[in-house]
Chains A and B, each alone.
Chain A
Amino acid sequence: MKGPKPSVEPFVWLGFSAGGMVSALLVPVLLFLFGVAIPLGWLESPEYDHVLAVARHPLTRLVLLGLCVLSLIHFAHRFRFTLIDGLQLRRYDGVIALGTYGLAAVGSVLAGWVLLFMV
């Protein structure tokens, strides 16, 4: 038999890689701002009108949607392997894969709903 083994795995890996890159570039500073610096008062919290305008901008929605979906794929793929290798749960890979990728799918739908319709 020639050619790559037909499988969804390479595509998931591509999603995992993209998610890793996007989350690595964007998440640290955003988490620092909204999770640490602003709550601690190191930086002034942005005015409501400003964040609303930024959040409503189509480019923001697109970027954040991409960030959320790809980050969730990244998480699902990585966490699945952490469980099956780290805790030696390989025999439950089917259930674990369903759980992690399922969670990513649900989260992605939620992200789409919030970012496209709720702001």
Chain B
Amino acid sequence: MSTGQEDFLAVRLYRQPVSRLWWLRRPTYLLFILRELSSVFVAWFVAYLLVLVYAIGDGESSYQRFLDRSANPVVIAVNAVAFGFVVLHAITFFQAAPTTTVVRLRGKRLPSAALAAPIFAAWAIVSAFLIWLVVLA
């Protein structure tokens, strides 16, 4: 075992501990973790969607059973929470996506917010189309 200067320094350094609840320490950390957890609700939707499509394929009575079950207050509550989270996901993702590129107009760099606008517009158009496709057509 050496007795050099580095050992002395290494023994005396104080390593500041990081709490397991570090993400509760700042509002921005908490928002970050909530944003990350929204992915769980995206996965929940995938499962819900597959159950719906399976029910459709299984016949009209299965489809009706699915609709009845989806009207269960507990299911609605879960889906309402999930909806909140997937909207959080969409908003934060559309704000994050433009940071990956730099777009210049006449030499000046466009701010990320300007690049997010067309994505939000696309979101509105796609949503409107799907509402039409599912319930109005």
Touching in the complex, A and B, CB below 8 A? yes
Q: How large is the interface on B (under 10, 10 to 19, 20 to 34, 35 or more residues)?
A: 35 or more
In the complex the two chains form, is A36's CB within 8 Å of B83's CB?
yes
Please, what's the 1-or-0 string for B95-121, where 1 marks a CB less than 8 Å from any CB in chain A? 001000000000000000000000000
List chain A residues, Cβ under 8 A from B45: 23, 27, 30-31, 35, 71
Which of A1-9, A41-49, A91-99 lies at the interface? Answer: A41-49
Residues of B within 8 A of A78 (CB): 36, 39
Residues of B within 8 A of A33 (CB): 130-131, 134-135
User: Are the CB atoms of A34 and B80 closer together than 8 Å?
Assistant: no
Contact B134 A54 (CB under 8 A): yes
Bound together, the chains give a CA A23 to CA B85 distance in angstroms of: 12
Q: Which residue of A lies closest to B82 (CB)?
A: A31
A-B contact count (CB 8 A): 156
User: B126: which A residues are within 8 A, CB to CB?
Assistant: 25-26, 29
Q: How far is the CA of A79 from the CA of B43 in the complex (A)?
A: 10
User: Within 8 Å CB of A114, what residues of B?
Assistant: 50, 53-54, 57
Give CA–CA (A67, B130) in the complex, Å. 14
Look across to chain B and name the residue whose beta carbon is closest to the beta carbon of A40. Answer: B76
Pairwise interchain contact B50-A38, C-beta atoms closer than 8 A:
no
B46/A38 in contact, CB under 8 A: no
Our pick among A39, A46, A88 for the contact of B135 (Cβ within 8 Å) is A46
A52 on interface, CB distance cutoff 8 Å: yes
Which residues of chain A are within 8 angstroms of B18 by Cβ–Cβ distance?
A: 88
| Interface check A15, CB cutoff 8 A | no
Q: List chain B positions with a Cβ less than 8 A from chain A.
A: 18, 20, 23, 33, 36-37, 39-40, 42-43, 45-50, 52-54, 56-58, 60, 63-64, 67, 70-71, 75-76, 79-80, 82-83, 86-87, 89-90, 93-94, 97, 122-123, 126-127, 130-131, 133-135, 137
